[in-house]
Every structure is written in structure tokens, then in C-alpha cells.
Amino acid sequence: MKNLENKIAIVTGAGSGIGRAVSILYAQEGAKIIVADIDEKGGIETVIQIKVKGGEAIFIKADTAKPDDCKKVVDGALKEFGALHIAVNNAGIGGPVSPVGEYPIEGWDKVISINLSGVFYGLRYQIPAILSSGGGSIVNVASILGKVGVRGSAAYVAAKHGVVGLTEAAALEYADKKIRINSIGPGYIVTPLLTNTLDDATMKTLADLHPIGRLGTAEEVAELALWLNSDKASFVTGSYYNVDGGYLAQ
């Protein structure tokens, strides 16, 4: 039997990168996927890739910074598939790079609204639906920067630290209600978030920050998320797992 047989799963930011890898893997493991992304072209492409491999998925265009959009995604899951068991709150942006004393206010607001408030909005509507479906599991995608800092990205660091804390609080609230909630902390991963903005020299510099000697792949992150969302992790909740090539061990 597949790890997610007959489960209904929402994946946000699923139009590329980690979200796409999670969606494809979960579909292969038997889940029906609601692909949510603000990028319609990317989201539809993810659905196509799932269906080509024999999986089942629908796309819902959504901006996680908008509560009504997060509700729309959950309502869409219930309307299309009749239940919700799993969510992966993955959508996020990098934001401006600037010292705190010069950080653009609008940049701060945007990063916090997508990377932190967007996770809360997701949980706010996912949890009641999962409760009514008999329980399930949620994975929130934080970052290695949910545990440590870095110069120039205060909003991102603050948001990802917030995701870890939000996960712990929510996990305690629903631990006895058959919902497990965990967070993961990817290191620097080869995704469009990096490859579309950084040159080869900068990518090499980032790779060298990891003791394992390379950047991670979206598929490697997806495997960790899969374990946490499966019954194999049935005694795991409120935890933070890094997938970072040794970055946080330094």
C-alpha cells in the first residue's frame, strides 16, 4: 500500500521548486493533490506532470497572503474531493536584501504577509477541515533561517522563526485531536528562487556553506515532508527537522 493512499492534500507554492516536488511525490504515493499557487502557468504545469504519471490533481490559483484565498483553497479541496487530510504550507519569497536600519518597509510587510501570515491563514482554514475529516497531518516549510540568522534578510529570518514557533503552538493545541503539525528547515535548495536570481559564482558560494559540499534538491526536501505526513511519523508532532547538508551542525 502506498504511504498516502486515498489522502487529500493541499500543497501551497506548488507551481515550482519544493512545492512541485512535494506534489509529484505525494501523488505517486497515492494522494489526491490540490496544487495552489499564485503562478497559474506553473501550477497548471505541476498538475500536468502529476496526471502524466497517473496521479490526480487540480489547480487553484491563490495568494497565500490573502485569507480569503486560503479559505478558497480549502473549500476547493472539500468540494472536489470531499475531505482534507494533509497540508504542506510551502509558499514563500526571499524578499529584499538590506540591513535592518535600511530595510524597506513595504518589503518587510510583503515577506511577513506571505511567509508567516500566509502559513497562519493556511492553518486557520486547514485545521477545521482536517478535524472534520477525522484527523491528519500538516507540514510547514520553514528554513535553516528559522533557527539561525543571516545578514541582510531580517524579514525572511523573522518570518521563518515565526513559522517554527507557530508550528509548535498549533501542534500543542491539536496533539490530542488527531492532527500532527511539524515544520522542516531546508538549507539552500536548487529552486527557481535561487537559480533565477543568482549567478554561478554566488551559487558556488552558497554550496560551500554546507559541509556536505553541495546544494540540496527539492526532491530531497519532499522525501522528508512525505515521511512527516505519513503514518510512519505517527508519534512526531511539534518538531522541527532540518534538511540542510550539515549547515546547522556548524
105 burial (CB, 10 Å; 0-12 / 13-18 / 19+) is: exposed
Task: Give the pairing type, strands 189-190 and 86-89.
Answer: unpaired
Which candidate in 103, 121, 125, 156 is catalytic? 156
**What is the torsional sign of CA 101, 145, 187, 156?**
negative
Q: Would you list the DSSP string of the chain?
A: --TTTT-EEEEETTTSHHHHHHHHHHHHTT-EEEEEES-HHHHHHHHHHHHHTT-EEEEEE--TTSHHHHHHHHHHHHHHHS---EEEE--------B-GGG--HHHHHHHHIIIIIHHHHHHHHHHHHHHHTT-EEEEEE--GGGTS--TTBHHHHHHHHHHHHHHHHHHHHHGGGTEEEEEEEE-SEESHHHHTT--HHHHHHHHHTSTTSS-EEHHHHHHHHHHHHSGGGTT--S-EEEESTTGGG-
156 carries an active-site annotation: yes
**Which residues are marked as active site?**
156
